[in-house]
């Protein structure tokens, strides 16, 4: 075998099962360099995988939303604080690369990668309006990113009653062998009756007892059933639709995700989508109700500091 600066003499006249190789001495530096390069490439590959960087295919998507803040008073409104969520920063199949706005803002990113924008508006004149526009640049990955697991997503929370005996019993009945996540997904999808949109969240136990609910109850029940058998699951609020570029209230939706082999996977029992998002989902917020307040998890925008200010999400 010949390579410039390298030759190998292979002796085949040896005992069965043995092979003798003679290497030219001045080839040793070249072989060492080759081995070093292979080692570096291998180390880089595993470093990328363990860091959670998604090396799969992605598409870019620019997302816009806007809000009208109207002063209903006949006097000027001053020192208004407006809060709104941008798409979640780096979760499952989504990465928010940048956020910009028509107004300056302070950005707070919590432990779940939720991005809360705080706008401080000095004044809105009487019976006048201010429009705030938020633009976000996203990458939507074909496969989910690696994420560390918080054991919060194994615990019960308000309206996700995974420690309730009825929910524990039902989960044990459904998840009898392998593919537990898919079996529970199918059961919720096929057995709950859809009641339409409701402002009031009723929770997992209600959904199980009445076998009905909105997309929120589908999400709550799936999440609670999985947590009851020690499979991490979390709740998501966001927008669902084909090629979304402008966030609209009518596209608001709730769904679940479950944790498997280091990543979070989609489970939308209402829409019947399991593990494949097809770029139709925009995650705004990972919900965990640490304050045990029924209303706190689903709020995507609000005002503070001044009465008589209405907020409308524009279409």
Give the pLDDT confidence score for residue 313 in this predicted structure.
97
Give the pLDDT confidence score for residue 13 in this predicted structure.
44
Identify the H or E element spanning 236: strand 233-240
The DSSP code for 160 is B
Rounded to 5°, angle at Cα 144 from 140 and 150: 120
Give the pLDDT confidence score for residue 73 in this predicted structure.
96
Give the pLDDT confidence score for residue 202 in this predicted structure.
94
Q: For the chain (length 315 residues), average pLDDT per consecutive 10?
A: 40 44 49 53 42 66 98 96 97 97 97 96 97 98 94 95 98 93 98 89 96 97 98 97 93 97 97 93 91 66 92 94
For residue 77, what are the CA distances in angstroms to 74, 117, 188, 231? 9, 20, 48, 49
Query: pTM score, two decimals?
Result: 0.81
Give the pLDDT confidence score for residue 37 in this predicted structure.
57
For residue 128, what are the CA distances in angstroms to 78, 82, 125, 253, 314? 12, 16, 5, 31, 16
Give the pLDDT confidence score for residue 52 in this predicted structure.
43
| Radius of gyration of the chain measured on its C-alpha atoms | 27
Cβ atoms 160, 179 nearer than 8 A: no
Give the pLDDT confidence score for residue 305 in this predicted structure.
82
């Amino acid at each position: 075998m010949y390579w410039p600066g390298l030759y190998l003499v292979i002796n085949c006249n040896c005992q069965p099962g043995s092979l003798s190789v003679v290497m030219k001495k001045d080839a040793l530096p070249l072989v060492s360099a080759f081995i070093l390069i292979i080692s570096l490439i291998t180390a880089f590959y595993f470093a990328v995988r363990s860091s959670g960087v998604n090396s799969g295919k992605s598409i870019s998507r620019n997302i816009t939303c806007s809000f009208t803040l109207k002063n209903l008073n006949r006097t000027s409104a001053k020192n208004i604080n407006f809060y709104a969520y941008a798409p979640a920063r780096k979760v499952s199949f989504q990465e928010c690369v940048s956020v910009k706005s028509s107004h300056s803002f302070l950005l707070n990113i919590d432990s779940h990668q939720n991005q809360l924008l705080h706008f401080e508006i000095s004044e809105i004149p009487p019976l006048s309006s201010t429009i705030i526009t938020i633009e976000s640049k996203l990458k939507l990955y074909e496969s989910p990113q690696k994420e560390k697991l918080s054991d919060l997503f194994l615990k019960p929370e308000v309206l996700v009653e995974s420690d309730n005996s009825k929910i524990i019993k039902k989960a044990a009945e459904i998840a009898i062998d392998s593919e537990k996540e898919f079996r529970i997904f199918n059961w919720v999808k096929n057995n709950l009756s859809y009641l339409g949109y409701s402002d009031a969240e009723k929770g997992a136990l209600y959904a199980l007892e009445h076998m009905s609910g909105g997309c929120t109850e589908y999400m709550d029940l799936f999440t609670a059933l999985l947590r009851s058998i020690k499979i991490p699951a979390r709740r998501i609020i966001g927008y669902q639709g084909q090629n979304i570029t402008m966030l609209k209230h009518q596209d608001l939706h709730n769904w679940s995700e479950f944790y498997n082999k280091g990543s979070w996977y989609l489970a939308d029992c209402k829409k019947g989508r399991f593990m494949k998002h097809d770029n139709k989902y925009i995650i705004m917020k990972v919900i965990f109700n640490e304050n045990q307040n029924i209303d706190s998890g689903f709020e995507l925008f609000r005002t503070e500091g001044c009465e008589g200010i209405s907020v409308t999400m524009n279409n």
